[in-house]
Amino acid sequence: MSDQRKIKVLVVDDEQDIIDILTYNLQKEGYEVETAMDGIKAVSIAKSFVPDVILLDIMMPLQDGVETCRQIREIPELKSTFVIFLTARSEEYSEVAAFDVGADDYINKPIKPRALLSRIAALFRRETKKDQEVSKITVRDLVIDRSSYTVSKSGKIIILPKKEFELLYFLSKSPNIVFSRDDLLQNIWGTDVFVLARTVDVHIRKVREKIGDDYITTVKGVGYKFDLG
């Protein structure tokens, strides 16, 4: 890879053969890799390794992937880490639960290494594009700082998981413009990721719970907009 620093990936799965094949393909591509076989160990390793990407199985002993992701999203040093769920489960509630705790992508097993590498590259391309945007937006008593992934209201810091923050930032940088659920899915989760429309509603609800109901307006039958008031 052309980066001066190798991109770090933490692979978390309770099947050794999956860990082995993913580790081989990632290292071949130039990534630095650490592994864990359960969620508790994954959180511990993530704190010291500080990976750029975490590939996380859902069904694991001791602690499942959803709870592991929730804990990871509470660690400040990992606020910008990409989390990609790898799972053999295809139920809708599993996917919703994954994105609800801050997943960036959701891939069903069996894993195709080349497709996985392509999805990782797509996440970094989107992030590079976002880094070129305006870093700070102030609306009334709300300050949204893209450079530090922080939100404050009347001077008080509000903690938002990564996708909730990106959704708020995206809406706030284009105030009074109505975006459909499909618009938001494509711009926040990307065209390479299949996400249910319901996921947008869940994230909007959670953002409102934290910043108040008077910033994001529902336009019935159309979508959502950020209201300047």
Q: Are 153 and 212 in contact (CB under 8 A)?
A: yes
* Both tokens assigned to 201: 């509603």
* Both tokens assigned to 176: 């009074």
Res 131: pLDDT: 55
Query: What is the span of the domain harbouring residue 116?
Result: 8-130
> Which one is predicted more confidently, 1 or 143?
143
Based on the fold, state whether residues 123 and 162 are members of the same structural domain: no
Based on the fold, state whether residues 180 and 159 are members of the same structural domain: yes
Instruction: Kindly report, residue by residue over 92-126, the tens digit of the pLDDT.
Output: 667 778 777 888 888 888 888 988 998 888 888 77
Based on the fold, state whether residues 198 and 94 are members of the same structural domain: no
Q: Count of domains in the chain?
A: 2
Instruction: Indicate if the pLDDT at residue 144 is higher than 80.
Output: yes
pTM here is: 0.64
Alpha-carbon distance of 217 to 198, in angstroms, equals 17
Q: Select from 196, 5, 182 the least CA-distant residue to 91.
A: 196
Task: Give the pLDDT band (50/70/90) at residue 3.
Answer: very low
Coil vs helix vs strand at 139: strand
Res 1: pLDDT: 43
- Rounded to 10 degrees, the C-alpha dihedral 78/48/99/153 comes to -30
Res 2: pLDDT: 41
Based on the fold, state whether residues 17 and 109 are members of the same structural domain: yes
Instruction: Kindly report, residue by residue over 194-214, the tens digit of the pLDDT.
Output: 667 788 898 999 999 999 998
Based on the fold, state whether residues 36 and 118 are members of the same structural domain: yes
Indicate whether 151 belongs to any domain: yes
* Residue that finishes a domain, picked among 130, 151, 186: 130
CATH number of the CATH domain containing 34: 3.40.50.2300
* Residue that finishes a domain, picked among 130, 163, 184: 130
Based on the fold, state whether residues 142 and 116 are members of the same structural domain: no
Q: Select from 70, 84, 91 the least CA-distant residue to 13.
A: 84
Report the range of poorest mean pLDDT among 108-122, 135-149, 183-197. Answer: 183-197
Burial class (CB in 10 A: 0-12, 13-18, 19+), 102: buried
Indicate whether 200 belongs to any domain: yes
Indicate whether 52 belongs to any domain: yes
Based on the fold, state whether residues 159 and 201 are members of the same structural domain: yes
CATH number of the CATH domain containing 194: 1.10.10.10
Percent of the chain residues past pLDDT 90, beyond the cut: 45
Based on the fold, state whether residues 106 and 145 are members of the same structural domain: no
Based on the fold, state whether residues 67 and 162 are members of the same structural domain: no
Instruction: Indicate if the pLDDT at residue 151 is higher than 90.
Output: yes
* Residue that finishes a domain, picked among 75, 105, 130: 130
Alpha-carbon distance of 34 to 22, in angstroms, equals 11
Q: Select from 5, 75, 1 the least CA-distant residue to 45.
A: 75
Instruction: Kindly report, residue by residue over 13-51, the tens digit of the pLDDT.
Output: 999 999 999 999 999 999 999 999 999 999 999 999 999
Res 91: pLDDT: 60
Instruction: Indicate if the pLDDT at residue 129 is higher than 80.
Output: no
